[in-house]
Amino acid sequence: MSNAPHILVIDDEPQILRAMRTILTEKQFRVTVANRGEEGLALAAANEPDLIILDLGLPDLDGVEVCTRLREWTQIPIIVLSVRDSERDKVAALDRGADDYLTKPFGIEELLARVRVALRHSARTQGTQSKVVKAGPLTIDLAWHTVKRGEEDVKLTGTEYKLLAYLAANHGRVLTHQGILTRVWGEADADHTEYLRVYIRQLRKKLEADPERPQYILTEPGIGYRFIADE
C-alpha cells in the first residue's frame, strides 16, 4: 500500500474532494486533499506527492499562480481542473508547467487515463526514455528518425518530422499551440497557429487512415494537440 502513488487533490468544493477521495482510494491511490491554494502548496512541499490535481478556480490563490510556484522547485506532474470556456486559463496553466487538464464535469475514466499518462511521463523523464513510440500501425523511432506505417516508410519533411517527434515523445499529454510552435518553429513564430494547422493536416494525411477523423493526432479545441500512442 505504501508503494501506491500518492495524489494530492487541491479543490475548494467539498463534494468534489469527497468524490475524488472515494474514487482514487478505490483505485489503490493514496489521497491527500486540500481546499485552499496555500494549504495545497504547503502539503505539496511536506509530502512530495507523485501527482497533483489542481482546481484552477481556488478562492485564495489563482490556480495558474499555484502552478508557477510549484514549478519553482518541483517537477511533480500537475493536472489542472477547470470549467468549460476557460481555455485561456487552461493554456496559461499548461504553459506555466502543468502537464494536462480536465474540463469539469469529467468522467472518471478520463481522469484515470490522464493520471496514468502523467505518472508514466514523470517516470519516463526520470528514467530512460523509450526511443520507439508505437501507435496502431505507426512506429516512430525517435533515435533513428524513422517513421513507419506498417512495413512502409513514411516520407516526412524536416519540419513534419520535428513536429511528429515532439508530439510522439510526449504521447498522451496535451501540448499547447504555443508550446509546440516554440519548440518546433522557434520563439519568433510562437503566434503562427496557422503553420501548426497546416502541418498537422499534412501529418494526418500521411499517417491517419481518415485524416478528417484522426485517431492518433487529436485536436484539443482551443488548447493544442495530443498524440495518442499504444499503452
Partner 1 sequence: MNSANMQSSSFLSHFWQYLLAFILIASVTAVFFTLRNILDTTLIALLYLVPLGIITALWGLGPGITSALITFLTLNYFFIEPHYTFVVHRPADIVILAVFLMVAVVISQLMGRAQAGLAAATAREREATRLYELSTALTGLNHDQAIAQILAKQIHAVAESECVELTGTGAHSFAYRLPETSKPTRPPELIVPIQAARGVLGEIRLWRAAPAISSSERQLFQTFASQGALALERAWLAQAESRARVLEESDQLKSALLSSVSHELRTPLSTIKAAASSLREKEVSWDSPARDDLIAAIDDEADHLNMLVGNLLDMSRIESGALKPKREWNILSEIVGGVLARMKNLSTTHQLEFDVPESLPLVPVDYVQMEQVFTNLISNSLKYAPTDTVVCIRARVEAESVHVQVSNQGPQVPSEHLERIFDKFYRVTAADRVTGTGLGLSICKGIIEAHGGRIWAENVPDGLAFNFTVPLTWDGASPPQFSIEPE
Nearest-approach distance from CB 201 to partner 1, in angstroms: 6
The residue within the footprint of partner 1, chosen from 197, 209, 230, 231 (CB under 8 A), is 197
Alpha helices in 104-226 (DSSP H): 108-126, 158-169, 177-184, 193-207
SS3 23: helix
Q: Which is nearer to partner 1, 104 or 116 (CB)?
A: 104
Q: DSSP code of 189?
A: G
Among 46, 132, 198, 209, binds partner 1 (CB under 8 A): 198
Region of 150 on the Ramachandran plot (φ > 0 left; ψ -120 to 50 alpha; else beta): left
Q: Closest separation between CB of residue 210 and partner 1, Å?
A: 9
* Residue 74 makes contact with partner 1 by CB under 8 A: no
Q: Which of the stretches 66-74, 83-91, 131-139, 163-171 binds partner 1 when contact is defined by CB under 8 A?
A: 83-91
Q: Which is nearer to partner 1, 59 or 107 (CB)?
A: 107
User: For 81, how many CA atoms within 13 A lie in the half-sphere containing its CB?
Assistant: 23
Task: Check binding of 201 to partner 1 (CB under 8 A).
Answer: yes
Q: How far is the CB of 114 from partner 1 (least distance, A)?
A: 18
Mention every residue, 6+ apart, whose C-beta is less than 8 A from residue 33: 8, 9, 10, 11, 17, 20, 21
The single residue among 32, 68, 122, 193 that binds partner 1, judged by CB under 8 A, is 193
Q: Do residues 134 and 229 touch, judged by C-beta distance below 8 A?
A: yes
Other Cβ atoms less than 10 A from the Cβ of 207: the count is: 23
* C-alpha dist (Å) from residue 192 to 37, 174, 181, 186, 197: 34, 18, 7, 11, 9
CB atoms within 10 A of CB 4: 14
Which residue has cell 496514468? 116
Give least dist CB 122 to partner 1, A.
29
Residues 146-185 that bind partner 1 (CB under 8 A): 155-159
| Residue 73 interacting with partner 1 (CB under 8 A) | no
Q: State the nearest-atom distance from the C-beta of 95 to partner 1, in Å.
A: 15
Options 1-9, 66-74, 93-101, 208-216: segment touching partner 1 (CB under 8 A): 208-216
Residue 200 binds to partner 1 (criterion: CB under 8 A):
yes
User: Residue numbers of the site for partner 1 (CB under 8 A)?
Assistant: 84-85, 87, 105, 107, 155-159, 193-195, 197-202, 211-214, 219, 221-222
